[in-house]
């Protein structure tokens, strides 16, 4: 499906969807807790539906109800059929670790995009701990049930999801476990989110001051009721839109959130945007933006959003810490560079840095590479410049199924193909 986007004046109030990352973590932890847990205000999107399906297939009833999700946890068991993780990296990585504590063999299937993303470092650690694993042609096989405690080393510059996956299962191993990172962790906010959810379900983990060493003693998860906060990643597109083209109040946000992508606020303020916080909202007005230099390593999912902002700012922006963006749903560095160049913006890149010279983008057809974050970021730019076409626009359903509706409610002149 294509989205045809025209220059628009936007304004109004919009509530962000619930956090994908918190929803997935809460569902998995509830499944590991023996008893009934309740998850209020969950996100229903492709990624979260993937983890729900996998857990239902593993024998844990995850029931969608009017007021949230009820999880009857504590009775996971392996099955012979493949567990379809779709294109959800968190589902594949977290469930690979979860299957490693279950007696028997589990097979997890990855979608086409996910099959290209790294998982071997996680499987290597699980092997050290006593599991038997294999990965071939988008299929992960885990023979689990015999994990042992000890001290294990993890590379700090690899995906935070590997660390989170190991932390999630470590209390259930039955022996003390220590994870030692070789350096400061990338995307630390996501690790803190994992620890926060585990604590809500009764687990306490000792972490060193720099979060490079984690000590875990045997513990049991306890059922809990949790409410999922709004998603700052999804909010970033709405906040960026307000800074470029309107007067928008983005609601449903926890201003004290651990989510790393709340960095969109100080980044935009650094660019000169007018932003005013409310109690659970951010109010943002159209502003004249200037270039910035920023390290994106702790908020790498913001790269597409900040890149389109830089394209419309005066001067040359420099974004560093971007190398891992090449390993997302698409090679986001390439996708951003290609899209901006098609719009007439000068872009240069090296291993870990991208430089964007602000200008006056023209209309163009943008390949989203079937990546939700590329599609949403360039849609925001399109509402400012006009005459932008987003290809594979349906990919936003991965994390924000209501994105196009929200854009229109704010006044966006958007036509979806075949309407």
From CA 388, how far away is CA 188, in angstroms rounded? 35
Q: Which residue has the tokens 């430089």?
A: 355
Give the CATH number for residue 143. Answer: 3.65.10.10
Residues 235 and 285 reside in one and the same domain: yes
Among 160, 187, 217, which residue terminates a domain?
A: 217
Residues 234 and 319 reside in one and the same domain: yes
Residues 251 and 199 reside in one and the same domain: no
Provide the residue range defining the domain that includes 242. Answer: 3-17+230-416
Q: Please report the pLDDT score of residue 186 as a whole number.
A: 86
223 in a structural domain: no
pLDDT in tens, 118-155: 999 999 999 999 999 999 989 999 999 999 999 999 99
From CA 314, how far away is CA 292, in angstroms rounded? 9
222 in a structural domain: no
Reduced to 3 states, what is the DSSP secondary structure of residue 99? helix
In this prediction, the residues of the chain whose per-residue pLDDT falls under 50 are: none
Residues 357 and 253 reside in one and the same domain: yes
Residues 236 and 361 reside in one and the same domain: yes
Residues with a catalytic annotation lie at: 301
8 in a structural domain: yes
Reduced to 3 states, what is the DSSP secondary structure of residue 279? coil
Residues 197 and 241 reside in one and the same domain: no
Q: Please report the pLDDT score of residue 224 as a whole number.
A: 98
Residues 9 and 25 reside in one and the same domain: no
48 in a structural domain: yes
256 in a structural domain: yes
Q: Please report the pLDDT score of residue 378 as a whole number.
A: 98
How are strands ordered across the β-sheet holding 132-136? Answer: 83-84, 104-109, 139-144, 132-136
């Amino acid at each position: 499906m294509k989205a045809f986007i025209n220059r628009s004046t936007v304004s109004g109030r919009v509530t962000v969807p619930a956090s994908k990352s918190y929803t997935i973590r809460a569902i998995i932890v509830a499944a590991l807790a023996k008893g009934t847990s309740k998850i209020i205000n969950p996100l229903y999107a492709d990624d979260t539906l993937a983890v729900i399906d996998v857990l239902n297939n593993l024998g844990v009833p995850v029931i969608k109800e009017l007021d949230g999700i009820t999880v009857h946890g504590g009775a996971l068991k392996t099955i012979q059929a493949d567990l379809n993780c779709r294109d959800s990296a968190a589902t594949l990585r977290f469930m690979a670790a979860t299957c490693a504590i279950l007696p028997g063999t589990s097979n997890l299937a990855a979608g086409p995009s996910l099959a290209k993303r790294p998982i071997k470092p996680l499987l290597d650690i699980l092997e050290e701990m006593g599991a038997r694993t294999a990965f071939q042609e988008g299929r992960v096989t885990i023979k689990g049930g015999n994990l042992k405690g000890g001290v294990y080393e993890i590379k700090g510059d690899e995906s935070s999801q590997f660390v989170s996956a190991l932390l999630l299962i470590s209390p259930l191993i039955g022996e003390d476990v220590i994870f030692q990172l070789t350096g400061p962790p990338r995307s630390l906010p996501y690790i803190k989110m994992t620890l926060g959810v585990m604590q809500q379900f009764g687990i306490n983990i000792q972490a060193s001051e720099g979060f490079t060493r984690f000590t875990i003693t045997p513990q049991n998860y306890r059922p809990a009721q949790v409410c999922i906060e709004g998603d700052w990643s999804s909010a970033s597109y709405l906040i960026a839109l307000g800074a470029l083209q309107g007067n928008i109040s983005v609601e449903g946000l926890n201003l004290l959130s651990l989510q790393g992508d709340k960095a969109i606020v100080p980044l935009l303020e650094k660019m000169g945007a007018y932003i005013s916080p409310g109690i659970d909202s951010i109010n943002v007005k159209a502003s004249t933006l200037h270039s910035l230099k920023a390290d994106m390593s702790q908020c790498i999912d913001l790269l597409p959003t900040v890149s389109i902002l830089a394209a419309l700012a005066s001067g040359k922006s420099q974004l560093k810490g971007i190398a891992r963006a090449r390993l997302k749903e698409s090679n986001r560095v390439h996708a951003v560079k290609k899209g901006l160049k098609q719009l007439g913006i000068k872009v240069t890149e090296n291993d870990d840095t991208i430089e964007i010279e602000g200008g006056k983008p023209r209309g163009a057809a943008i390949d989203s590479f079937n990546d939700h974050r590329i599609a949403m970021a360039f849609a925001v730019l399109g509402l400012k410049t006009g005459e932008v076409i987003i290809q594979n626009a349906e990919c936003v359903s991965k994390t924000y199924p209501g994105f196009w509706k929200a854009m229109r409610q704010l006044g966006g002149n958007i036509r979806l193909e075949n309407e």
